[in-house]
A = this chain, B = another copy of it.
Amino acid sequence: MTRSTATTRLRQETDEIPDRVAMQVADRRDDFERAGAALRRHDPQMLITVARGSSDHAATYLKYLSEMTAGRPVASIGPSISSVYGRSLRLDGAACLSVSQSGRSPDLTAFQDMARQAGALTLALVNTSPSPLSTGADIAMDIGAGPEHAVAASKSYVCSLSAMAALVAAWTQTASLGTAVSRTPDRLRNALSCDWSALVPAASNARSIYVIGRGPGFAIAQEAALKFKETCQIHAESYSAAEVMHGPIQLAANGLVALVFLSRDEARPGLLDAVARLAGSGARVFVADPLGEVASDGRAITPLPCIAAPDPLLDPLCQITSFYRFIEHLAGALGFDPDAPQLLNKVTETL
């Protein structure tokens, strides 16, 4: 339970994020162009995604990118529909994207097989190829994150997001987004230096944490909440800024800690309203703002340093990279070894 080495694998792999995204930009561009062209030809009425854990949080990012940029609705489907319940869906006119680091989860592979037989164009996004998932897909893409040994995903998650942005840029022929992806590695280097230690004491003593985002930022809120649990045994939960104003805000009365991933886009006013209402209800609120405009109120609201990406849609990549550095630090401060969670293994083969 205590740390045995000065540098954890989680720290090493987080530090690799900028270089791995840069290599992806240099080496994998043709793969995403090819997949984007296939999506244009197939012209799916909808996308469906299948994934688990961090890969499923990455799929949430694709959902918002697709709905906001391509106008196609995205359904996240539990692979249990085929692996547990033995059902087939009607998927003519759909495209199915499977996301898996290992590419060898049997339930995802079975789902992908069902989807292709049901008429969907199948795309697999993996970090291991060849793998059963990549060889079984109509189109396979490798995120090129390199070997990941830490139990907690970090570079594979960010490389999944950059791959999805490159894919959507190619699909919708949005040159500005494609260019922005290629300029992101430098910003990720800066994001590694953002010091979020102001959050350490509050998080260490928190009974509960909410991680809040909206749109593409909700995808990293999901990922950050999982990391609080798996590396620090802290109960954190992700919320969209819209949903938290319903029943969930009741926990603010209990000294809740909230981490808000602020956006620069149309969601910004609603997120700022959530910051104010959470702070006014008793929560301690920490805000990662790419614009750096949110100021401390000396009490409830604390800004965290944050790097703006070359495009607002890519801000989440910088925010989660700063977060990964923070969570490794927090785990150490709490006496946990983030590379050796008590109850976890790297590959969970779920049925």
- A residues bordering B, Cβ < 8 Å? 45-46, 48, 52-53, 56, 67-68, 71-78, 80-81, 84-94, 152, 207-208, 214-215, 226-227, 229-231, 233, 235, 237, 240, 242-243, 245-254, 265-267, 270, 281, 341-344, 348, 350-351
Contact = CB atoms under 8 A, between A and B. Distances in A.
Contacts of A93: 45, 93
A242 B251 CA distance: 26
Contacts of A230: 246-248, 250
A298 B207 CA distance: 29
Contacts of A247: 53, 152, 226-227, 229-230, 341, 344
Given A344-B247, A351-B270, A72 B92 contact: no
A233 B253 CA distance: 8
Nearest to A53: B246
Nearest to A70: B90
A300 to B, nearest CB: 15
Contacts of A207: 207, 235
A89 B75 contact: no
A48 B73 contact: yes
A216 to B, nearest CB: 10
Q: Chain A binding site: helix, strand, loop or mixed by DSSP?
A: loop
Given A73-B91, A73-B94, A85-B265, 6 more contacts: A45-B94, A73-B75, A80-B270, A235-B237, A235-B254, A246-B348
B250 A344 contact: yes
Nearest to A351: B270
Contact of A68 (B45, B87, B208): B87
A229 B242 contact: no
Given A53-B247, A246-B53, A246-B348, A71 B84 contact: no
